[in-house]
Amino acid sequence: MKTKTAVITGASSGIGMEFARAFARMGYSLILTARRKDRLEKLASELSVPCEIVVSDLSNELECYQLWEKISHRDINVFINNAGFGTCGNFQDTDLAKEVSMINVNIRAMHILFKKVLQKMKLQGYGRILNVASSAGLLPAGPYMATYYATKAYVTSITQAVAQELKEEGSKIYVGALCPGPVDTEFNEMADVVFALKGITPKCCVKEALMGMKKRKVIIVPSLKMKICVMGQKLLPKQSLLKIVAMQQKKKTKN
């Protein structure tokens, strides 16, 4: 039987690393990509399956295409489009260069790889793609994390649109968006967050993601608490919801 292959971006930490461990336990060969070679090598050494490491900075458009050229010849059974990061603060004050880099990773790189992998899977006739978004992408906006919320709204929107297109053509290919709330990873440190609610573990997040993929859910929201929050926000007037989100996100800033 031919070994299945999973490709995971942002695999050097957090959710991406946990996906790598999960698919390794299922016997998949792995293609792991991130910026930090040392971390990828350490992770690969811990796993009992073949691992190919591709060091890529996905904020650079050229490196997105170079990554694709390196993996395009492989049969890809699962693609975890996970690379991404955030930033926190008043929009007037946050670092523009960091925000542009975030847009490049969270939107441009996600979009390029999503399209390329989907086109390949259509030729193969099979495959599963999970775009890692956030519960932030299911809200109308996110004051004090404005750009991050906007990037994740893009991910949830495009995923749902493509999923409907595939459904209408009777395709067997699965696409979904993982929309977790707080997860205990390095995200907060990268986003300059000084206070955050305790999140679920990456292991719990990935466990629920895999169950959602198995059920072919288009939007996967891990944890009952976050599911209730997402459903509850639909009952609130938009302006009231924005005030609540602003109050919570403002707690995360240094000011």
pLDDT tens digits, 208-255: 999 999 999 999 999 777 777 777 677 667 777 677 767 777 666 655
> CB-based contacts of 123: which residues, under 8 Å, 6+ apart?
none
pLDDT in tens, 97-109: 999 999 999 999 9
What is the C-alpha separation between 29 and 50, in angstroms, rounded?
Answer: 5
Whether 62 maps to a domain, the answer reads: yes
Whether 255 maps to a domain, the answer reads: no
Does the active-site annotation cover 154? no
Burial class (CB in 10 A: 0-12, 13-18, 19+), 237: exposed
Whether 196 maps to a domain, the answer reads: yes
Question: Model-level pTM?
Answer: 0.89
pLDDT in tens, 26-51: 999 999 999 999 999 999 999 989 99
Whether 90 maps to a domain, the answer reads: yes
Whether 168 maps to a domain, the answer reads: yes
Whether 206 maps to a domain, the answer reads: yes
pLDDT in tens, 142-173: 788 899 999 999 999 999 999 999 999 999 99
Average pLDDT over residues 16-24: 96
What is the C-alpha separation between 186 and 205, in angstroms, rounded?
Answer: 15
How many other CB atoms are there within 10 angstroms of residue 242's CB atom?
16
113 DSSP β-pair partners:
none
Catalytic residue among 28, 65, 144, 148: 148
Task: Single out the residue of 180, 183, 201, 203 nearest to residue 193, CA to CA.
Answer: 183
CATH code at position 135: 3.40.50.720
Give the number of domains in the chain. Answer: 1
Whether 11 maps to a domain, the answer reads: yes
The bridge status of strand 78-81 relative to strand 51-55 is unpaired
Domain of residue 44 covers: 5-250
Whether 55 maps to a domain, the answer reads: yes
- Residue 138: HSE in the Cβ half-sphere, 13 Å Cα cutoff: 23
For the chain, the average pLDDT equals: 89
